[in-house]
Amino acid sequence: MPRAKNAVATRKRRKKILNHAKGYWGARSRLYRTAKNAVE
């Protein structure tokens, strides 16, 4: 059985950053890593 990390919180955190990056071009609005860089 895999170890359960707090996925709900992780998803919320990532979704928040992706929502901030809405309207950005290409991967900046879709992929977490590039979106995180774009938002900062």
In three state form, how does the secondary structure of 1-40 look?
A: CCCCCCHHHHHHHHHHHHHHCCCCCHHHHCCHHHHHHHHC
pLDDT tens digits along 1-40: 888 889 999 999 999 998 888 888 988 889 888 988 888 8
Q: What is the pLDDT of residue 32?
A: 87
